[in-house]
Amino acid sequence: MIAIEFILAGMLAAATPFLLAALGELVAERSGVLNLGVEGMMALGASVGFITVYSGGGHVMGFVFGALSGMALALVFAFVTLGLHTNQVASGLAIGIMGLGLSAYFGKPFESFTVTGLGKIAIPGLSDFPVIGGLFRQDIVVWLSLIFTPALWYVLKHTKLGLLLRAVGENPHAASAIGYPVILIRLSAVAFGGLMAGIAGAYASTIYTPLWADGMIAGRGWIAVALVVFGTWMVGRVFLGACLFGAVSLGGIAAQTVGLAVPSQLLASMPYIVTIVVLGIISSNRRLVKLNGIASLGEPFEK
Amino acid sequence: MTTTLNRRNFIAGASVATMVATLGARAQAATPDDPLIVTLVIPSPVADVGWGHALFEALETVKADYGDAMQLSVIENIFEGPDADRIMNKAVADGTKFLVAGSFGYQNGAMQIARRNPDVTVLHASGFMVAPNFSPFAAQYSQGTYLMGMAAAALSETGKLGSVSAFAIPELITSINAFTLGAQQINPDIEVSIVWLNSWFDPAKAQEATEALVAQGCDVLFSNAQDTPSVVAKAEELGVYSFNLNSSMKAYAPNTYLGCVLTDWSPFFRESIEAHLAGTFEGANAFLGVSDGVVKVVDWSPDIPEDVMARIMEVEAAIADGSFAPFTGPIIKADGSEGVADGVTMTDEEVIGMDWHVQGVTTPLPS
């Protein structure tokens, strides 16, 4: 198998943890709340999900409990930021660190244990193609993510719910004035973000790398946060960005196996460099800021 | 009493430690009332397997000899850097007299502690600095990986071996070189590919690297300095042989486990602690191998052909009695130039500082 085949086959699975967590964060940020605790919510989801599967609960329950634990952490964040109007950046960081600590605490007795992942589902016909065939052999979660992504795009773009969410993010005072419960909508968006981060973490620890080790999320939550900016809060671009980052991370490895000398440290920092460049481009142009930014992002809302 | 601490509850436990410190600070003697406090600092969590586990288990073994006269505390998950310096200083301030700094990156901080506290003995993993109360220690993994290379080449059908490795530092390069040289004893045309992860700890990336190597046709993998069973478990899933260092991971790969280059640090720790208590400790570069009882190869796969196994045993015996060393010339570097001349054996210093690949390794060194 040649390197490009390896990248194509593994890209989507490598991108899935980023993608799921980033889509959750995208929804939270669309409502105007910046939750920087994604890394911690993913870690907690990973540890709780792993423990569930290891203890015989099965993969579905692993995802359920992983998602719930991520959501629980997000609700703590929602309580302090939406309820007590604390600074979102500081609270998000604190929640993230807390999540990492809790994941290590719960996971301690399970350190370095492994579980069995799930098999891959191939699309008959397509998966037999040379080179690109690997793209069509993925596990169930990757397939579901591929269905979920356009569904989320549709909801955000074409439904009343999506419009409401965006309105709350753009101008919470206007939304409130015409009678919408801003705090409740933001709370739901943040909870959804935690849910998705928990699922992303559980995917990482029970299917993608079916083992638990403290610190195994290894910065993937931060890449998810960066991806949302990279994708300028658009579902499609976030998806493309996740695939790109997944491919780049595998590309660095594949290049080494075929004997190419690439500075893999530089490749590892690519997502962040690209994010800074995108941020720079957006904020250098007022029109782009208006088009792509979220007006009330990070600002507490008080009636 | 064994206490397992991490960064988070380290501070919480400080009050207890301070109480203990007032006891420990008085004298060097080790009695149940006045125990010797031994502290181990490591960058990863102590798990059932891996590097941290090997150090921990060895200290536990020594502790069994002393009972309550020795107190062992483990501080895990400490990043290499200023935070580590602070934590090691705190441990010494709290009465630690025997410090095991379990990673290369702790070197400068640990050396400062040794200079400032002449009554504290420091053992430092994989470094090169030496002081009267400061010994660097490293395992001659190369003696074990050479044997593994012979077994790997005998089992490989594709003639391609792979290694998932943490950082391109001499210690790891040396292991891979010896692995390659050993493999060439069985199959002179063998090729070895490496993926450098540039991380001591990223299980997901380690598994991606495993898949990438297998995709390139590698059918025996060397999990080099990976503290989790990520590579070994993935290799089992993909049906290729694998082996690792430090502690056995056979449980994670019941069918395709090639073996383990085990490190048993207890003889070295026991000797050092005895010397510390007797006041005769002298810092020196401890580069320990098969003959010191520190490096052992265990859990050999039953699939290795008998004739190859017999040859491996012969070589192992020759390494143990000193009649053979893996890095004996002629050795050609990967760039084609001469590495070691015919009949010459590399000195320990040369082996420790090795920063080039032998011929047969196809992946260039990261610049």
Domain-located, residue A231: yes
Q: Quick one: pLDDT at residue B22?
A: 42
Residue A32 has pLDDT above 50, yes or no: yes
Domain-located, residue A136: yes
Domain-located, residue A297: no
Model pTM score: 0.81
Domain-located, residue A163: yes
What is d(CA A22, CA A38) in angstroms, rounded to the nearest whole number? 9
Count how many domains chain A has. 1
Chain B residue numbers with beta carbons less than 8 Å from the beta carbon of A6 are: 211-212, 215-216
Q: What pLDDT digit, counting tens, does each position of A256-294 carry?
A: 887 777 776 777 777 778 778 877 887 787 777 777 778
**Which run of H or of E encompasses A185?**
helix A182-203
In which residue are the tokens 């709370």 written? A187
Domain-located, residue A68: yes
Chain B residue numbers with beta carbons less than 8 Å from the beta carbon of A253 are: 195, 205, 208-209, 212
Cβ A191 vs Cβ A73: under 8 Å: no
Residue A198 has pLDDT above 60, yes or no: yes
Cβ A21 vs Cβ A197: under 8 Å: yes
CATH number at residue A263: 1.10.3470
- Domains annotated for chain B, with CATH where assigned, are 2-139 (3.40.50.2300), 141-262+295-352 (3.40.50.2300)
Q: Quick one: pLDDT at residue B353?
A: 84
Q: Quick one: pLDDT at residue A3?
A: 78
Domain-located, residue A7: yes
Pair of tokens at residue B36: 């010797």
Candidates B45, B211, B218; nearest CB to A111? B45
Domain-located, residue A303: no
Those of residues 220-239 in B touching chain A at CB distance below 8 A are 227-230, 233, 237
A203 is in which domain, residue-wise? Answer: 3-292
Degrees, nearest 5: CA angle B249-B162-B297: 40
Chain A residue numbers with beta carbons less than 8 Å from the beta carbon of B237 are: 117
Residue A186 has pLDDT above 60, yes or no: yes
Q: What pLDDT digit, counting tens, does each position of A231-242 carry?
A: 889 999 999 999
Domain-located, residue A89: yes
Those of residues 59-118 in A touching chain B at CB distance below 8 A are 101, 104, 108, 111-114, 117
Q: What pLDDT digit, counting tens, does each position of B47-87 carry?
A: 777 788 899 999 999 999 999 999 999 998 888 888 899 99
Does the distance separating the beta carbons of B229 and A112 come in below 8 Å? yes
Q: Report residues of chain B scoring pLDDT below 70.
A: 1-29, 367
Q: Quick one: pLDDT at residue A1?
A: 55
Q: Quick one: pLDDT at residue B16?
A: 45
Pair of tokens at residue B4: 């397992």
B343-349 contacts, C-beta under 8 A, 24 or more apart: B348/B285, B348/B287
Chain B residue numbers with beta carbons less than 8 Å from the beta carbon of A249 are: 205, 208
With CA atoms as reference, report the closest residue to B200 among B223, B220, B179, B217.
B223
